[in-house]
């Protein structure tokens, strides 16, 4: 495990563990309903209805960090699911199909009341269908209408002019689906949905993301980064999974404050920082040490990933007179914004410039295809902006086939031949 420099990071880890222990207790002892949901679902509705959620991707990352991915993926393959199928979304399913709670992190996932996913790819309904059957739980999905109006610089429209950014028919369709989901949540909890509660929550999410934005700006403008990328991720994601909760808003504030204090005190993450790196794609959850492996020799520090940056640009919504519509707009294009042209490439180059990035590593996860689309566009755009790119063909959760030493050598060579040499020549 990579070093943790921030008090906040430790607090986030402790909080997540305690939260999961509480969830198991609530579910087992008090039969409280909870939901397993895909990362891009509108978590806000679950919050408002007091239904705890476990994100599929978070659980996959935990399994992977505990070095259990090979065991579970082998199990999946032995059941007849071939090795070419997606791993990021199916690792957690595999942990259920393995029927081996002794081995599972923290005793494994208990039976959820609901499984929920947005259908952003053709396999998701299959993955979640299999999972729902294995648990004997209900599966609720949100279908995913396609974007056809693709204005440039989406992040300049997303906060105030989101109604223009995400076509009206897509928003309307998504709202109906959110209403369906609300009805299911009402049935499961026996409680009534209150739109005022959603409105309050949306405002709190805005506040949370504003704190993250301040943190991001400080990281951008500091001479050397006060916080490494992997610690940004740990803090941001702990809060995003329960965005808008008191803990999450408070944690975002504490994160911002700790960064501010570090900057005031002149504390930097890596005193030898000479190169600033960007990681494009989901985290490499099975080898997080990778992210600090190039500091000693090259002074190369990872300072950016999508996780912190997407909070403000992707989530903030001003003008909450119709909170459900605003929530639909937060949900409807996440995949395009993060992965697909024209939005992902433009945004990532913009971020790279803002963060004074010297080089980028772009993850092409062949075991997770939709997350691999759009990458060539991103790589080309970065190179055209003068930022050398190393494509990394690897999987975020599957350590099988990942050769840590070889990859570190490859990155070292890239930094030597493409990044440092260029610096010296300019």
**Interacting residues with ligand SF4 (CB under 6 A):** 39-40, 57, 86, 88-89, 120-121, 123-124, 127, 282, 335, 338-339, 368-371
Cβ 349 to another protein, closest distance in Å?
13
Q: Does 366 bind another protein (CB under 8 A)?
A: yes
Cβ 62 to another protein, closest distance in Å?
23
DSSP assignment of 357-426 equals -SEEEEEE-TTSGGGGTTHHHHHHHHHHTT--EEEEE--SS--TT--HHHHHHHHHHHIIIIIIHHHHH-
Q: Does 136 bind another protein (CB under 8 A)?
A: no
Q: Residues in contact with another protein, total (CB under 8 A)?
A: 46
Q: Which of residues 318-357 bind another protein (CB under 8 A)?
A: 336, 340-342, 345
Q: Burial, 111: exposed, middle or buried (Cβ in 10 Å; 0-12, 13-18, 19+)?
A: middle
Alpha helix locations (H) across 273-366? 295-298, 306-310, 323-331, 334-339, 343-354
Q: Does 134 bind another protein (CB under 8 A)?
A: no
Residue 328 CB neighbours (<10 A)? 23
Cβ 39 to ligand SF4, closest distance in Å?
4
C-alpha atoms less than 13 angstroms from C-alpha of 182 in its C-beta half-sphere: 18
**Candidates 4-12, 35-43, 241-249, 362-370; binding stretch for another protein (CB under 8 A):** 362-370
The whole-angstrom separation of Cα 326 and Cα 407 is: 42
Instruction: Output the CA torsion sign for 46, 47, 49, 51.
Output: positive
Site string for another protein, 180-199 (x = CB under 8 A): x-------------------
314 secondary structure, DSSP code = I
According to CB under 8 A, which one of 7, 14, 143, 250 is a site residue for another protein? 143
Q: Between β-strands 300-304 and 275-280, what pairing exists: parallel, antiparallel or unpaired?
A: parallel
As given in the structure block, the two tokens for residue 156 are: 């300049």
Output the CA angle 205-210-216, nearest 5 degrees.
130
According to CB under 8 A, which one of 121, 222, 263, 348 is a site residue for another protein? 121
According to CB under 8 A, which one of 4, 24, 163, 376 is a site residue for another protein? 376
Which residues have C-beta within 8 Å of that of residue 122, sequence separation ≥ 6? none
Q: Closest CB to ligand SF4 among 5 and 345?
A: 345
Q: Binds 340, which of another protein, ligand SF4, none (CB < 5 to 8 A, cut-off by type)?
A: another protein
Q: Applying CB under 8 A, which residues contact another protein?
A: 79-82, 84-86, 119-123, 125-127, 129-130, 141, 143-148, 150, 169, 173, 176-177, 180, 336, 340-342, 345, 364, 366, 369-370, 372-377, 380
């Amino acid at each position: 495990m990579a070093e943790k420099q921030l008090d906040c990071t430790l607090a986030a880890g402790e909080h997540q563990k305690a939260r999961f222990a509480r969830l198991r207790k609530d579910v087992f002892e008090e039969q409280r309903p909870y939901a397993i949901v895909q990362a891009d679902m509108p978590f806000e509705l679950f919050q408002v209805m007091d239904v705890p959620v476990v994100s599929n991707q978070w659980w996959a990352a935990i399994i992977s960090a505990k070095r259990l991915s090979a065991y579970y993926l082998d199990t999946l393959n032995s059941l007849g699911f071939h090795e070419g199928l997606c791993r990021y979304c199916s690792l957690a399913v595999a942990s259920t199909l393995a029927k081996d709670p002794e081995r599972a992190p923290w005793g494994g996932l208990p039976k959820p009341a609901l499984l929920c996913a947005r259908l952003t790819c053709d396999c998701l309904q299959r993955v979640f269908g299999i999972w729902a059957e294995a648990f004997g739980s209900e599966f609720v999905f949100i279908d995913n209408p396609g974007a056809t109006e693709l204005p440039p610089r989406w992040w300049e429209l997303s906060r105030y002019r989101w109604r223009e950014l995400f076509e009206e028919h897509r928003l309307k369709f998504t709202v109906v689906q959110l209403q369906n989901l609300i009805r299911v949540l009402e049935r499961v909890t026996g409680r009534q949905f209150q739109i005022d509660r959603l409105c309050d929550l949306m405002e709190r999410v805005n506040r949370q993301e504003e704190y993250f934005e301040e943190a991001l700006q400080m990281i951008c403008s500091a001479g050397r980064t006060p916080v490494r990328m992997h610690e940004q991720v740990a803090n941001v994601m702990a809060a995003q999974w329960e965005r808008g909760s008191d803990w999450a808003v408070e944690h975002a504030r504490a994160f911002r404050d700790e960064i501010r204090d570090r900057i005031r005190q002149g504390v930097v993450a890596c005193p030898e920082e000479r190169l600033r790196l960007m990681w494009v794609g989901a985290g490499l959850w099975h080898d997080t040490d990778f992210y600090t492996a190039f500091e000693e020799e090259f002074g190369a520090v990872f300072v950016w990933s999508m996780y912190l940056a997407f909070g403000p640009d992707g989530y903030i919504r001003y003008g909450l007179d119709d909170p459900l519509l605003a929530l639909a707009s937060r949900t409807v294009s996440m995949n395009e914004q993060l992965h697909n042209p024209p939005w992902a490439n433009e945004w990532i180059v913009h971020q790279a410039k803002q963060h004074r990035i010297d080089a980028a590593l772009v993850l092409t996860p062949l075991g997770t295809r939709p997350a691999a689309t759009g990458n060539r566009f991103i790589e080309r755009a970065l190179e055209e902006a003068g930022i050398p790119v190393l494509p990394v063909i690897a999987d975020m959760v599957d350590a099988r086939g990942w050769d840590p030493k070889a990859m570190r050598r490859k990155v070292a060579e890239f930094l030597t031949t493409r990044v440092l040499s260029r610096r010296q020549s300019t």
